[in-house]
Structure 1
Amino acid sequence: MTAPSTAPAPSRGGRWIEHWDPEDETFWRTTGRRVARRNLAFSVLSEHIGFSVWTLWSVLVLFMGPEYGLTPADKFLLTSVVTLVGAVVRVPYTFAVAVFGGRNWTIVSACSLLVPTIAAFVVMKPGTSFSTFLWVGLLAGIGGGNFASSMTNINAFFPLRRKGWALGINAGGGNIGVPVIQLVTLAVIGAHGGPRVLLALYIPLVVVAAVLAALFMDNIASVRNDTGAAKDAAKEAHTWIMAFLYVGTFGSFIGYSFAFGQVLQSQFGRTPLQAAYLTFVGPLLGSLIRPVGGWLADRYGGARITLWNFVAMAGATAVLVVAGTQKSLPLFVTAFVVLFVLSGLGNGSTYKMIPGIFQAKALAKGLSGEEAAVYGRRLSGAAMGLIGAVGALGGVGINLAFRQSFLSYGSGTGACVAFLAFYGVAFVVTWAVYLRRPAGRTRAEAAASEAKHRLGYAEV
Structure 2
Amino acid sequence: MTAPSTAPAPSSRGGRWIEHWDPENEAFWNETGEKTARRNLLFSVLSEHIGFSIWTMWSVLVLFMGPEYGLTPADKFLLTSMVTLVGAVVRIPYTFAVALFGGRNWTIISAGLLLVPTAAAFAVMKPGTSFSTFLLVGLLAGIGGGNFASSMTNINAFFPLRKKGWALGLNAGGGNIGVPVIQLVALAIIGASGGPRVLLGIYIPLIVVSAVLAALFMDNLASVKNDTGAAKDAAKDAHTWIMAFLYVGTFGSFIGYSFAFGQVLTNQFGRTPLQAAYLTFIGPLLGSLIRPVGGRLADRYGGAKITLWNYVGMAAATAVLIGASVQKSLPLFVSVFVVLFVLSGLGNGSTYKMIPGIFQAKAVAEGLEGEEAAAYGRRLSGASMGLIGAVGALGGVGINMAFRQSFLSYGSGTGAFVAFLAFYGACFVVTWAVYLRRPAGQVHANTAPSETKPQLSYAEV
If the length of structure 1 is used for normalisation, what is the TM-score?
0.97
Aligned pairs for 1:343-422 within 5 A: 343-422=344-423
1:203-223 per-residue CA deviation (whole Å, 9 max, x = no partner) reads 000000000000100000010
1:316-342 Cα shifts (integer Å, max 9, x gaps): 000000000000000100110000000
Cα gap change, 1:327/1:438 in structure 2, threshold over 3 Å: closer, same or farther? same
Q: Provide the residue aligned with 1:33 in structure 2.
A: 34
5 Å-filtered alignment, 1:249-260, equals 249-260=250-261
How much does 1:441 deviate?
Answer: 7.5
Matched residue of 1:128: which SS? coil
Deviation at 1:448, TM superposition (A): 9.0
Offset at 1:6? 4.0
Task: Work out the CA distance in 2 between the residues paired with 1:301 and 1:449.
Answer: 29
Q: CA separation of 1:347/1:10 partners in 2, compared to 1, >3 Å: closer, same or farther?
A: same
Which letter maps to 2:338? V
Residue 211 of structure 2 corresponds to which residue in structure 1? 210
1:315 matched residue in structure 2: 316
Percent pairwise identity:
84
Q: Contact 2:364 / 2:454 at 8 angstroms: preserved in 1? A: no
**One-letter code aligned to 1:57:** W
Residue 295 of structure 1: aligned partner: 296
Counterparts of 2:306 and 2:347 in 1: how far apart (Å)? 7
User: In 1, distance between residues paired with 2:98 and 2:445?
Assistant: 42
8 Å contact 1:302–1:353 — kept in the other structure?
yes
Higher deviation after alignment, 266-275 or 450-459? 450-459
C-alpha displacement of 1:364: 1.5
Question: Are residue 10 (structure 1) and residue 9 (structure 2) matched?
Answer: yes
**Within 2, Cα distance between the matches of 1:157 and 1:89?**
23
Other-structure match for 1:113 = 114
Asked if the contact 1:247–1:394 (Cα under 8 Å) also holds between the matched residues in 2, the reply is: yes
Distance 1:451 1:200, change over 3 A: farther
Q: Is the 8 A contact 1:151 1:171 kept in 2?
A: yes
Distance 1:212 1:449, change over 3 A: farther
Unaligned 5+ segments in structure 1 are: none
The equivalences for 1:60-459 within 5 A come to 60-438=61-439, 445=446, 452=453, 455-459=456-460
Superposition deviation, residue 285 in structure 1: 0.1
Mapped to 1, the partners of 2:368 and 2:339 lie a distance apart of: 42
Relative distance call for 1:149 and 1:438 in structure 2 (3 A) is closer
* Alignment deviations for residues 156-185 of structure 1 (CA, whole Å, 9 cap, x no partner): 000000000000000000000000000000
Shift of 1:446: 10
> Does structure 1 retain, via aligned residues, the 8 Å contact 2:122–2:197?
yes
Shift of 1:375: 1.0
C-alpha contact (below 8 Å) 1:285/1:341 kept by paired residues: yes
Equivalent residues of 1:49, 1:177 under 8 A apart = yes
Structure 2 gaps of 5+ residues are none
The DSSP-based 3-state class of the residue aligned with 1:269 is coil
SS at the partner of 2:223? helix
Root-mean-square deviation (Å):
1.8
Distance 1:448 1:89, change over 3 A: farther
Asked whether the equivalents of residues 6 and 31 of structure 2 are also in contact (C-alpha less than 8 Å), the reply is no
TM-superposed deviation, 1:378: 0.9
CA distance in 2, matches of 1:280, 1:8: 43
Are 2:43 and 1:45 aligned? no
Deviations 1:375-416 (A, max 9, x none): 111110111111000000000000000000000000000000
Contact 1:53 1:143 (8 Å CA) reproduced: yes
Q: CA deviation at 1:14?
A: 2.3
Instruction: Kindly state the Cα deviation for residue 437 of structure 1 after the two structures are TM-superposed.
Output: 1.2
Name the CA distance, whole Å, in 2 between partners of 1:262 and 1:232. 41
Conserved 8 A contact 1:438-1:446:
no
**Does structure 2 conserve the Cα–Cα contact (< 8 Å) formed by 1:47 and 1:147?**
yes
Q: 1:448 to 1:76 in 2, by over 3 A?
A: farther
Distance in structure 2 (CA, Å) of the matches to 1:19 and 1:147 = 25
How far did residue 369 of structure 1 move?
1.1
Kindly provide the amino acid, as one letter, of the partner of residue 151 in structure 1: M
Alpha-carbon shift at residue 363 of structure 1 (Å): 1.1
With over 3 angstroms needed to count, the CA separation of the structure-2 counterparts of 1:82 and 1:454, relative to structure 1, is: farther
What secondary structure does 1:223 align onto?
Answer: coil
In the TM superposition, what is the alpha-carbon distance from 1:224 to its structure 2 partner? Answer: 2.4
Q: Counterpart amino acid of 1:11?
A: P
